[in-house]
């Protein structure tokens, strides 16, 4: 059976445009078969973005490296770059169709200052980041999602932040426990619509 996290989705391409509004701004994304949440921006992703935008008060033009791990068709990066153009985004995914769509969506929004890497988890990611965001691929299994959390800790700078959104019913508690175990802290930033947004900070242990 083919999943949205196949490396090379074989399902016939059926591209379409979807609209997404956040903070009174409307964005258009190209999506396709074989990628996550092709019909509309996922409600979990929407909650994580809204929480992040409310939370984050950047000092103007702060140079920060941000990783959008498991980027899908690029929603998180397009939105963050539109609100905070000074961020440098790195996008990664295993799904090649998703990566191509991400690039197209970034270009269609005239976004500059990003890098796209094909990688399973952190296999091909070498840099360190100030912020990492994930709507993890639950269907890929616990081993994969836990290695995203572990890799996030390894690849964050000191005081760097890891944001994660997960459906309450899809193992939110075990994610919270794992993040606490790895980082020594995990705050519940938001609970809404059956999702939880967690944040862990890399501190000196």
Ligand X SMILES: C[S@@+](CC[C@H](N)C(=O)[O-])C[C@H]1O[C@@H](n2cnc3c(N)ncnc32)[C@H](O)[C@@H]1O
Contact status: 71 vs ligand X (CB under 6 A): yes
Contact flags string 9-48 toward ligand X, x per CB under 6 A? ---------------------------xx----x--x---
> How far is residue 37's CA from residue 115's CA, in Å, rounded to a whole number?
22
**Host H or E run for residue 68:** strand 64-69
Contact status: 4 vs ligand X (CB under 6 A): yes
Contact status: 98 vs ligand X (CB under 6 A): yes
Residue reference for tokens 């963050």 = 80
The region of 9-17, 71-79, 183-191, 195-203 touching ligand X under the rule CB under 6 A is 71-79
CB 142 to ligand X: min, Å: 12
Q: Which CB sits closer to ligand X, 6 or 184?
A: 6
H helical segments located in the chain: 43-55, 75-83, 96-108, 142-154, 172-183
Q: Nearest Cα to 115, choosing from 157, 150, 81, 155?
A: 81
Q: Which CB sits closer to ligand X, 28 or 158?
A: 28
Q: Which CB sits closer to ligand X, 98 or 197?
A: 98
Q: Which CB sits closer to ligand X, 137 or 160?
A: 137
Give me the torsion for CA of 165, 155, 177, 167, rounded to 10°: 10
CA dihedral (182, 188, 193, 194) positive or negative: positive
Edge-to-edge order in the sheet of strand 64-69: 114-118, 87-93, 64-69, 129-134, 156-167, 195-201, 187-192
The region of 17-25, 50-58, 137-145, 192-200 touching ligand X under the rule CB under 6 A is 137-145
Q: Which residues bind ligand X (CB under 6 A)?
A: 4-5, 36-37, 42, 45, 70-72, 75-76, 93-95, 98, 120-121, 135, 137, 140, 144
């Amino acid at each position: 059976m083919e999943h949205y996290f196949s490396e090379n989705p074989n399902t016939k391409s059926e591209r379409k445009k979807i609209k997404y509004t956040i903070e009174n701004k409307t964005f258009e994304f190209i999506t396709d078969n074989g990628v996550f949440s092709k019909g509309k921006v996922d409600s979990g992703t929407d909650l994580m973005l809204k929480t992040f935008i409310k939370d984050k008060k950047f000092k103007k033009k702060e140079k920060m490296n941000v990783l959008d791990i498991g980027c899908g068709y690029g929603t998180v990066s397009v939105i963050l770059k539109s609100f905070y153009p000074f961020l440098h985004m790195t996008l990664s995914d295993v799904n090649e169709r998703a990566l191509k769509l991400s690039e197209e969506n970034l270009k269609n929004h005239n976004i500059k200052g990003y890098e796209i890497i094909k990688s399973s988890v952190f296999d091909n990611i070498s840099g360190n980041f100030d912020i990492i965001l994930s709507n993890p691929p639950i269907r890929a299994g616990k081993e994969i999602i836990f290695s995203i959390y572990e890799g996030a800790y390894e690849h964050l700078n000191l005081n760097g932040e890891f944001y994660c959104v997960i459906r309450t019913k899809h193992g939110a508690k075990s994610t919270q426990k794992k993040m606490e175990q790895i980082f020594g802290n995990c705050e519940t930033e938001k609970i809404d619509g059956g999702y939880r947004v967690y944040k862990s900070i890399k501190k000196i242990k």
